[in-house]
Structure 1
Amino acid sequence: MPPARVFALSSAPFIVASGVRGGLGIRGPVGDGKAWPARGDHPRMPPLEGAPMSNLPIPMTTEDFTPEWVTAALRSNGTLGDGSVTAVEATPVGEGAGFLGSLARLTLTYEGTGADAPATVVAKFPALVEVNRGLAVQYQVYQREARFFNEIKSTITAMPTPEAYYADVEEATGNGVILLEDLDGKLRVGDQLAGASVREAEQLMTQIADLHATWWGRAEEDTISWVPAFDGPVWAMTAQTLPSLWPTYQEERSHLLPPGMADIIERTWEGLIWLGQQLSRGPMTLVHGDYRMDNMFFPPSEGDPITIIDWQLMSRGRGPYDVAYFMSQSIDVELRREHERALVKRYHDGLLAGGVRDYSFDDCFEDYRLACLWCVMYPVAMGGGMAHNERAVQIAAEVSKRSFNTILDLDSVSVLPS
């Protein structure tokens, strides 16, 4: 498992960037002419009612994953039965500590258990730095992913996800922990820098269409009303934060901007609230939110389902958001240009096959164009506040090229109201 790419809580770029350079209190125009909220004015997140809870404390360091704690966690859903964990060896995965959370591989020694108990698990637990942990709680990333595994995973049939042996959040603090299936050595992790092949992209369009069709028109139901929508307070905080990173991007990455792109990005900042409202028009569906190659695990046999990880950015909105995020960030520019309409059509065909009605290909492609514009926030966030190692710098440059060219090719800025 390549160490630089396993921890998605550190790769949620708009959240990562929000605490790196400061500037959360900027003011400026938004789509409806209101001011951006100043520091302290942004909406506070209500607790997630009905979040999974147990009597186990949330581990805050690797030392907290004691044999007794892991035994209780694995017994809670029958993974362990009557056996016991007698020893836990915790090893950081990748850098171990991401901006919004920590990641470790736990090697387990058992006594009196069957052969089905996992030899290793991957633990995701809160960030070590208090400020970073507070941001994660405010953006509900721990809660979202824990509730995905406890409440939503079972509804998804055509998109494999890692097995979660334990997932919990603490209502009082919002901190969370997940024990996940260790995919290291079983599957090949995708590479966002290299990008997807056409065959991989085709399969990923089919799989995301199946997810979206399953939840199409049902995302307004009370059962998942806790999942943030693009016009809700979680994404409103994103819209107020991103423009503060733009000056740094211009200062350090101006060479990546094609002619006219700076003006387009300025217009996009002014329209982010409006774009979020458009992405929240019904019928909404459940979107992954971070659908990119670094979050894909590929099987040895071509054509077998691709495993998707990292659901902490799961949201409710228009399905083509995931398509736009993937196409504008994870595919080579020339490859996208050659196969773009065919891939979006493959996605649309998958929706129709899944029972979606009254949604034309033209409407789908227009939503795709709009979402591509929204997704310009990701390269700006990476280049303006997150690219602090060699690979991150390379990804920021490549994703910038892909995203900017997508927006220019599609004339996405024309979707904004004049």
Structure 2
Amino acid sequence: MTAPTIDTPEEITAEWVGEALGAVPDSVRVAPVGFGQIGSCLRVSLAGDGLPPSVLVKLPTADAGTRGMLVGAYRSEVSFYRELEPTVAVDVPRCHLATDVTDDGRFTLVLEDLAPAEQGDQLRGGTPEQVRGAAENLAGLHGPRWCDPALLDLGRITMQDAEGADLLASVYGPAIDTFLEITGPLMSSEAATTVRETQDVVVDWSLARAERFGIVHGDYRLDNLMFSPDPAVQVKAVDWQTLSLGLPAKDLAYLVATSLDAPARRACEEAVVAAYHRRLLAHGVTGHPLEECWDDYRFAMLQGILVSVFGCAYGARTDRGDRMFAVMVERTAAAVRELGTLGLV
């Protein structure tokens, strides 16, 4: 279907829905959902034949200056649904409409409403069962395009290179300072020390193991996962604005470490990695034994610290956000120490 790009909830009319979904509703009701820090997400309830009960509409932020800086993130998500999603096996919401993203950041996405599925809670953490299901779903993103050379020609998503590593070297230290200033009172001194120790290795880490690559979600964690009571499709992944190419285990380590406190992670992580690995093999991956997968998982643990440091230092601050990033790093730092991650770089 096609429909014009819109900017405001007021433009979600019955006529516009008809163009987007192919049937004109008898009534339309619009309500905001989620936090909307880099855009807005609206639940559109519909009445009429040939239509779902509701859909979600994603729009960019209303602030033109901020919107312009987020063009890359918006294009990442749109290109995922239009170009990449048909080539992988990860469970995601059905996309009804994905318009082009203009140079000033205007776009419109219309997605399946996953209710009554519930969003994971990063602060509370997940259960081992949820994490395992999410890891198996993650293999559906990584496996079908594992080390696919065609990915290197996409342009929109890229591997880390020397220029990117130089930029990382220049900004990571100041980001750590800001992060610890914000979260210091919320974390243990042991976790803060581990964060400081990552500064010496993070650049080499970001370039290492480039021989194994795939599509990396970049923020595959509980807040971006929807859990359903339906045993056929228990988890679907959302928010595809941070895509890159890189070591696939970065998504896996990030998921496990940020979702579980240390005792729960220790008790289940080997089983979770094994379940993920079995699904990789089912999606056609070869030449990647379980031992290598486990070693990549250990190595990739810095992802949780890196993403959290930058998210906290440069993102819009909220009380929940401060506490969330502190919890994510506390959990991940424990995994980094226990699994000997720094010694693998």
Smaller-chain TM-score bracket: 0.7 to 0.9
Code of the aligned partner of 1:180: L
Query: 1:4-51 CA distances to partner (integer Å, 9 max, x unpaired)?
Result: xxxxxxxxxxxxxxxxxxxxxxxxxxxxxxxxxxxxxxxxxxxxxxxx
Structure 2 residue 265 is matched with structure 1 residue 318:
no
Structure 2 residue 80 is matched with structure 1 residue 142:
no
In structure 1, the residue matched to 2:54 is: 120
Structure 2 residue 320 is matched with structure 1 residue 415:
no
In 2, Cα distance between the equivalents of 1:220 and 1:367?
Answer: 23
What SS does the corresponding residue of 2:41 show, helix, strand or coil?
Answer: strand
1:385–1:147 distance in 2 versus 1, CA, 3 Å: closer
Where does 1:147-158 land on structure 2 (aligned, <5 Å)? 147-157=79-89
Query: 1:382-401 CA distances to partner (integer Å, 9 max, x unpaired)?
Result: 55455844433432332122
Gap runs ≥5 in structure 2: none
Query: 1:248-283 CA distances to partner (integer Å, 9 max, x unpaired)?
Result: 33223224554555454334334433222225x123
Aligned residues: 345
In 1, Cα distance between the equivalents of 2:268 and 2:277?
Answer: 14
Q: Which moved more, 1:335-344 or 1:263-272?
A: 263-272
Structure 2 residue 115 is matched with structure 1 residue 184:
yes
In 1, Cα distance between the equivalents of 2:189 and 2:80?
Answer: 42
Where does 1:244-323 land on structure 2 (aligned, <5 Å)? 244-259=174-189, 261-278=191-208, 281-302=210-231, 304-323=233-252
Contact preservation (8 Å) 1:264, 1:413: no
Query: 1:218-249 CA distances to partner (integer Å, 9 max, x unpaired)?
Result: 15446644323344878876665444332233
Code of the aligned partner of 1:272: V
Structure 2 residue 277 is matched with structure 1 residue 358:
no
1:375–1:232 distance in 2 versus 1, CA, 3 Å: farther
Aligned-pair distance for 1:180? 0.9
In 1, Cα distance between the equivalents of 2:31 and 2:172?
Answer: 34
Where does 1:207-226 land on structure 2 (aligned, <5 Å)? 207-218=137-148, 220-221=150-151, 224-226=154-156
Code of the aligned partner of 2:213: M
Query: 1:322-341 CA distances to partner (integer Å, 9 max, x unpaired)?
Result: 11110111112111112222
What SS does the corresponding residue of 1:106 show, helix, strand or coil?
Answer: strand
Flag the structure with higher helix content: 2
What SS does the corresponding residue of 2:300 show, helix, strand or coil?
Answer: helix
In 2, Cα distance between the equivalents of 1:303 and 1:170?
Answer: 34
Task: Calculate percent identity across the aligned residue pairs.
Answer: 28
Contact preservation (8 Å) 1:188, 1:297: yes
Structure 2 residue 100 is matched with structure 1 residue 175:
no
The CA RMSD over aligned residues, in Å, is 3.0
Contact preservation (8 Å) 1:127, 1:133: yes
In structure 2, the residue matched to 1:100 is: 38
What SS does the corresponding residue of 2:97 show, helix, strand or coil?
Answer: strand
Q: What TM-score do the two structures reach when normalised by structure 1?
A: 0.73
Query: 1:310-331 CA distances to partner (integer Å, 9 max, x unpaired)?
Result: 2222222111111111011111
What SS does the corresponding residue of 1:376 show, helix, strand or coil?
Answer: helix
Q: What TM-score do the two structures reach when normalised by structure 2?
A: 0.87
Contact preservation (8 Å) 1:125, 1:176: yes
Code of the aligned partner of 1:142: Y
Where does 1:2-41 land on structure 2 (aligned, <5 Å)? none
In structure 2, the residue matched to 1:15 is: none
Q: Which moved more, 1:390-399 or 1:379-388?
A: 379-388
Query: 1:359-412 CA distances to partner (integer Å, 9 max, x unpaired)?
Result: 233332232222211320233345545584443343233212201111111221
Where does 1:39-54 land on structure 2 (aligned, <5 Å)? none
In 2, Cα distance between the equivalents of 1:236 and 1:169?
Answer: 32
Contact preservation (8 Å) 1:100, 1:135: no
In 1, Cα distance between the equivalents of 2:10 and 2:163?
Answer: 35
Structure 2 residue 21 is matched with structure 1 residue 90:
no
In structure 1, the residue matched to 2:157 is: 227
What SS does the corresponding residue of 2:92 show, helix, strand or coil?
Answer: coil
In 2, Cα distance between the equivalents of 1:130 and 1:175?
Answer: 9
Contact preservation (8 Å) 1:372, 1:412: yes
Contact preservation (8 Å) 2:78, 2:100: yes
Code of the aligned partner of 2:31: T
Contact preservation (8 Å) 2:68, 2:103: no
1:239–1:194 distance in 2 versus 1, CA, 3 Å: farther
In 2, Cα distance between the equivalents of 1:293 and 1:233?
Answer: 31
In 1, Cα distance between the equivalents of 2:245 and 2:164?
Answer: 11
Contact preservation (8 Å) 2:201, 2:342: no
In 2, Cα distance between the equivalents of 1:217 and 1:275?
Answer: 19
